[in-house]
Amino acid sequence: MMSTISLFPPDALPAPDTDATDLQLGPGAWVLRGYALDYVDRVLTQLRQIRRQSPFRHMVTPGGYTMSVALTCCGAAGWTADRKGYRYAAIDPETGQPWPAMPDVFLALARQAAEHCGYAGFAPDSCLINRYVPGARLSLHQDKDETDFCAPIVSVSLGMPAMFQFGGLKRSDRPEKIPLFHGDIVVWGGPDRLRYHGVMALKDNPHPLLGSNRINLTFRKTG
């Protein structure tokens, strides 16, 4: 069994509450504690196939910044970034081939989590898969490269814990900090759909299954 030593200060990232139920962050936003746990084995099996077809890579932003988070995608459209901008594309720019198809288990998990939060009929056509290692972070941003904001965002956390930042509709709004753990899902839509959000730099707090890695699956309907 792996021996894990927590490097978080005692008040930085509390232990998950195994008796917790849904945590509401706003009128259209929730954290579903442990909702994905029953899916983990099947999700990771499919992820291994996806990364063989479209490996993780560190993309460069329009400003020339190399992202600390590595990413790949699956589904009909994959999110990409380069010096020309941010966009969705059907072709993986690294392989020149279509992105891997979205596995049924991915789609089922996203749909059920969305429906649980009142977003029936969610049909994502894109899953952005981010891999975080210690020190990786994601600055505050809005998910606004989609053409239709009616559908929610569904974000699944696996592996190392992270501190999620959930802000307001303006970048200057002070974000709330919410610890996320293996198996948690965040769903936001409706009046919360364009709220700024991000992930603080990860500490090295290895997970028994994924070690010093955090995997995040973000499901979106692009159009």
Treating both helix axes as pointing N-terminal to C-terminal, what angle do 104-116 and 40-53 enclose, rounded to 10 degrees? 130
**List of residues 6+ apart from 211 with CB closer than 8 A:** 2, 159
The reply to whether 88 sits in an annotated binding site is yes
The reply to whether 171 sits in an annotated binding site is yes
Question: Are 2 and 209 spatial neighbours (Cβ–Cβ below 8 Å)?
Answer: no
The reply to whether 166 sits in an annotated binding site is no
The reply to whether 195 sits in an annotated binding site is no
The reply to whether 145 sits in an annotated binding site is yes
Long-range Cβ pairs for the range 62-70 (8 Å, 24+) = 62/86, 68/135, 68/136, 68/137, 69/130, 69/131, 69/132, 69/136, 69/137, 69/138, 70/130, 70/131, 70/133, 70/136
The reply to whether 116 sits in an annotated binding site is no
The reply to whether 197 sits in an annotated binding site is yes
The reply to whether 130 sits in an annotated binding site is yes
The reply to whether 87 sits in an annotated binding site is yes
The reply to whether 218 sits in an annotated binding site is yes
The reply to whether 35 sits in an annotated binding site is no
Strands (E), the chain: 23-26, 29-32, 70-75, 78-82, 85-89, 126-132, 138-141, 153-159, 162-166, 176-180, 185-188, 197-199, 214-220
The reply to whether 215 sits in an annotated binding site is yes
Distance CA 83, CA 65 (A): 9
Binding positions:
79, 86-88, 130-132, 141, 143, 145, 171, 197, 214-220
Q: Which residues are annotated as a binding site for 2-oxoglutarate?
A: 130-132, 214-220
Residues annotated within the binding site for Fe cation are 141, 143, 197
Q: Which residues are annotated as a binding site for substrate?
A: 79, 86-88, 145, 171
